Amino acid sequence: MGRNLYDGVRVVDLTNNFAGPMSSALLADYGAEVIHVEKPVTGDDNRFFSPMVDGVSVSHMSANRGKRSLVLDLKDPRSIESIKKLAAEADILIESYRPGVMDRLGLGYEAIKAVNPGVIYCSISAYGQTGPYANRPGYDVIAQAVSGAMYMTGDPNGPPTKIGSAIGDWVGALAAFGTIGTAMYHRAVTGKGQHIDISLARLLLWVFARFDFTFTGKPETRSGNYHTTLAPYGIFNGSHGDSIIIGALNQNLWTKLCGVMGCPEFAEDPRYNTNAKRCDNLKDVIQIIEGWLKRLDDIGEAERRLMEAGVPCAKVYSPEDAFQDPHFNTCGWITKIPAPAGVTSIDGRFFPSNPFTFSAVAPQYRPAPTLGQDNHSILERLGYSFEEVENMQKEWSEKAKK
């Protein structure tokens, strides 16, 4: 394979937890040299997220794959100077500290821009770098709460529901990856670097918020497993705890669905012969569909019949179902990330491949580093002797343990 997207690009990674580390992992997959700066002794918090294999976090294997690990104590001026030296020769700096922290450390955008005017500086936080809430701490679940995502998820008669995935972190990582590439293109055209502000709350506001109330005058409500203005469109349950998605949005599809269910008379029934009427009589529509499903031994049989008739549908997958799906595997949507050093029980972890395909390049998944494995090679390149690196690491480790 020839040149990858980010071959020759250097990234200084000052991130922690998940959104930031995953964004730089994506860059590493496409050839970037990512230097992940971690705390003495413990490193990135991600190193301790469960589950663990041979004492190594499976999450760390994924979010910090393909990187180099450099341990620095950011309370030490020598560490700040080292980061500035790295940033001076870097293309990208990514950080996920609470807004204001990097400025106090002397590593904010303006300070880094002074040593590297072309740097692409990406900040990832809960609420963004400006505004009344900028200094508030926040995680994915907080972004879900304040964006409306949580409020709009769940049963209409029940409480708000947390989304199963850390969706803010995942969307944040993808947004950082995409905007960094866009800023790189802008720099190639103009010669100018810039500061990118990624807010998890803002991203989820963009994905989930509905402001229809501003012109309808009606409060927004959860729709649960069904759609408020389309029917049938949602999750329908079988007899063994399994479920299927059915989307019969127009009269043609409704007619086909009625034929598959063995009740063609409902196609022209005045209670159900338009989408609006099916919405008005949604409880009856659900009862008709689920009554048919529960007469079958397997939800897979319903899926087969519906697909043969051309009715859009899909069995609701468990993660195990997704892992075994022939389409996902044939298309390369699932990969194995090599295990890092020290892990002997497994040779890697299965993980969803990067969610996009480039025709000219492909990701190269490499193992995550052990903590501080690149201390000497990086710091000695910056001018420190072997003994100085050893002494600094010992000093920082002792201080961190107190």
Spell out the per-residue pLDDT of the chain, length 402, in tens: 579 999 999 999 999 999 999 999 999 999 999 999 999 999 999 999 999 999 999 999 999 999 999 999 999 999 999 999 999 999 999 999 999 999 999 999 999 999 999 999 999 999 999 999 999 988 999 999 999 999 999 998 899 999 999 999 999 999 999 999 999 999 999 999 999 999 999 999 999 888 888 888 888 888 899 998 999 999 999 988 899 999 998 999 999 999 999 999 999 999 999 999 999 999 999 999 999 999 998 999 999 999 999 999 999 999 999 999 999 999 999 999 999 999 999 999 999 999 999 999 999 999 999 999 999 999 999 999 999 999 999 999 988 887
Burial 280-305 (b: 16+ CB within 10 A, else e): ebbeebbebbbebbeeeeebeebbeb
Position 19 scores a pLDDT of: 95
Over residues 86-100, the pLDDT tens digits come to 999 999 999 999 999
Let me know the angle formed at the C-alpha of 197 by 195 and 202, rounded to the nearest 5 degrees. 165
What CATH number did the domain enclosing 283 receive? 3.30.1540.10
Residues 166 and 250 reside in one and the same domain: no
Task: Examine residue 230 and state whether it is found in any structural domain, yes or no.
Answer: no
User: Which residues are known to be catalytic?
Assistant: 169
Residues 344 and 284 reside in one and the same domain: no
Over residues 167-204, the pLDDT tens digits come to 999 999 999 999 999 999 999 999 999 999 999 999 99
The answer for 17, left when phi > 0, alpha when psi is -120 to 50, beta otherwise, is: left
> Is the bond preceding 232 in cis, omega lying within 30 degrees of 0?
yes
* Sequence-separated (6 or more) residues with CB below 8 Å from residue 53: 339, 343, 345, 346, 349
Residues 65 and 23 reside in one and the same domain: yes
Residues 190 and 251 reside in one and the same domain: no
Residues 338 and 293 reside in one and the same domain: no
What whole-number distance in Å separates Cα of residue 179 and Cα of residue 275? 40
Residues 115 and 259 reside in one and the same domain: no
Give this prediction's pTM. 0.93
Task: Examine residue 214 and state whether it is found in any structural domain, yes or no.
Answer: no
Tell me which residue has tokens 């980061």: 83
Paired tokens of 345: 């029980």
Residues 263 and 136 reside in one and the same domain: no
What CATH number did the domain enclosing 177 receive? 3.40.50.10540
What whole-number distance in Å separates Cα of residue 303 and Cα of residue 309? 10
Among the residues of 148-197, which ranges form H helices? 167-190
Pairing of the two strands 120-125 and 92-95? parallel
Residues 142 and 187 reside in one and the same domain: yes
SS3 362: coil
For the chain, the domain total comes to 2
What is the domain range of residue 159? 10-207+329-401
Over residues 201-215, the pLDDT tens digits come to 999 999 988 888 888
Task: Examine residue 320 and state whether it is found in any structural domain, yes or no.
Answer: no
Task: Examine residue 296 and state whether it is found in any structural domain, yes or no.
Answer: yes
